[in-house]
Chains A and B, each alone.
Chain A
Amino acid sequence: MKGEGIWRGWLAAAALLAGLAPWWMARDEGTKSFPGFLVESGTNGAATGPFFRTLQVNAGSRHAKSHSATLAELPGGVLVAAWYAGSGEGAADVAIYLSRRYADGAWSEPAAVITRERAQADLRRNVVSLGNPLLLADDSGRLGLLFVSIAAGRWSGSSMNLAWSEDGGLTWGTARKLTMNPLANLSALPRNPPVRLAGGGWAVPVYEEFLGKFPETLWLQPRGKDFSAAVSRVEGGVYILQSSLVPLAPARAVSFFRDFRPARWMSASWSDDAGRTWTKPAVTGLPNRDSGLCAIRLSDGAILSAFNDLSPGKRENLRLALSGDEGRTWRTIATLAEEAGSEFSYPYLVRTSDGTIRMAYSARQKQILLAEFNEAWVYEQAEASR
């Protein structure tokens, strides 16, 4: 009995130490939890005077559905776009397509970089369809691809995966599953642009769409050649999702949300601790009727938002609005697309190193279009709309 008691004592002590071991082993990573956002302060792209142009990225596409485009800029100014396309949402033939823009401005023939079969082989589990891709580009030219795979059903059966390319998206390494929630890891999707973090990581706005529908932040921190992932809550409940994260300062940011409450106003949250905690979402003066939106910070600190204004149909127009007070109030300055009975949706805004603002969006969920303009054009529109 005495011997058993001693054993138990040793094992109990060992269990206590095991509980503290992860804390001790990861003690240095704790300091990197919320390292702060990298706030772009690049050129405003005004040297060439105001300009605006639109072109189609997936010209010649025969897919019935092409949607949820994402953009990234590689070193040397090479622009990369990715989207999902196939015969329909949730269909087995949906794949992630990628195209690169050459120096002469022409887009490469879109290539299916991740197919359902490829994802199934990489992940070694059932994949019925693919969805929302998101590109991550770092200064070294390494390109990351977050994408959704659906294990069963529709979007509520989705989860997120990460693959890396060392050659600008031509070839991709084996994708791996990211664990993001404890309920069979179901229902996590990306939608809006990631934000670079000090120290080389990423804050990626993501959302859950299972029983609850709410926004979260996926934190990717460098760990060797890969990244460790963790998720924090922005807001719970069932009323907002698809946040657009805009860094205002290293520790300050604002998130705008797709809002499906009857009030039909976009809502926003602010963080003063580098994304660790967020204020209770408050409605802003920008209309939103349950449709995806995207926002970006301009060089003078103003925020530009692309959104679907209210219309008889759900997404019959796509407009730009400007805010000078961190997203609390807005003024609509331009209409990028408008057609009764049509649909223009899922805007995705980035500002490339030359200061040009580039916005990918879907037209009728078939065409992937790219609008390019500079801040001079934005302010010209703002002036004209007064």
Chain B
Amino acid sequence: MKETVIIWTTLVPFLLLLWFSQRMSGLTGVSGLALAAVVSAVAVWFPWFGHPLPFWSASLSANFSVIMVGLLIVAVFDRAFETGIFRPRDWRAAWIFGAVASVLLYPSALGLGPQNFDVYALGWPWLFWGQSVWLFGGAGFAAALLIWRGNRFGYVIFLAMLGYAAGFQESDNIWDYLLDPVYGAVSLVMILWMVWRRRAGGPLVPTSEGASGR
């Protein structure tokens, strides 16, 4: 097991707990963040059913995406410092990216769609050579376009690309750096919520407060 995977499977439950404890406590600022971090760190290393949370986190998945982790970090910092790192359009880009990628990837991974083709196979660095280039290049292009247009979600995609180049995760497949079932499911729910809000006459996108968890 790569050492980076241990870091990753520790970081993900820690950030999730941090985010939840911020929401539950209502604390903000440095002191709030520090308190939530201490509580989360204790909970992460507490032996739940004989093992700390990283053990159970790895059991569930060792390949939580870089993008999900990036979004969690943004949400945590936005709540702690009210910095508004992500604006509504940045969140909207994140949910659209996650929803589109999920619709492209998961049905195929379950064996649906064109029977003898798996979209996930495009994510291996060396297997389907000609086609894989389009996936790598496509992710880079999406990041470049968003950054160029001033959308901050582009930086998160860029980080995922860098994480992939560094071989940070257990997986060698680039899809696992860009997407995971949790991020995909949340994205689909958020897109449906946005559509419902629009049909109900509300704004198309959530406010920065709502989207960042406030």
Partner-B contacts on A (CB < 8 A) = 8-9, 11-23, 25-26, 29-33, 122-126, 151-152, 174, 176-177, 179, 181-185, 208, 210-214, 216, 219, 221, 228-238, 276-278, 280
Contacts and interface: CB of A to CB of B under 8 A. Distances in A.
A182 B125 contact: no
Contacts of A16: 140-141, 143-144
B63 interface: yes
Interface residues of B, number: 65
12 contacts: A14-B158, A16-B140, A18-B158, A21-B136, A122-B1, A151-B59, A179-B176, A181-B120, A182-B180, A216-B118, A229-B172, A231-B121
Contact of B125 (A26, A125, A212): A26
Contacts of A221: 126
Given A22-B165, A177-B1, A183-B181, A236 B116 contact: yes
Contact of A219 (B61, B127, B140, B154): B127
Contacts, number: 186
- Identify whether the interface residues of A are mostly helix, strand, loop, or mixed: mixed
B208 interface: no
* The 8 residue pairs across chains A and B that have the minimum distance between CB atoms: A19-B140, A212-B111, A29-B126, A30-B129, A15-B143, A179-B171, A230-B124, A126-B59
A212 B141 CA distance: 33
B137 interface: yes
A234 B125 contact: no
Contacts of A177: 1, 62, 170
A94 B61 CA distance: 23
B116 A15 contact: no
A182 B111 contact: no
A248 to B, nearest CB: 19
Contact of B126 (A21, A30, A152): A30
B63 A179 contact: yes
Interface centre among B59, B139, B145 (most CB of A within 10 A): B59
B159 to A, nearest CB: 9
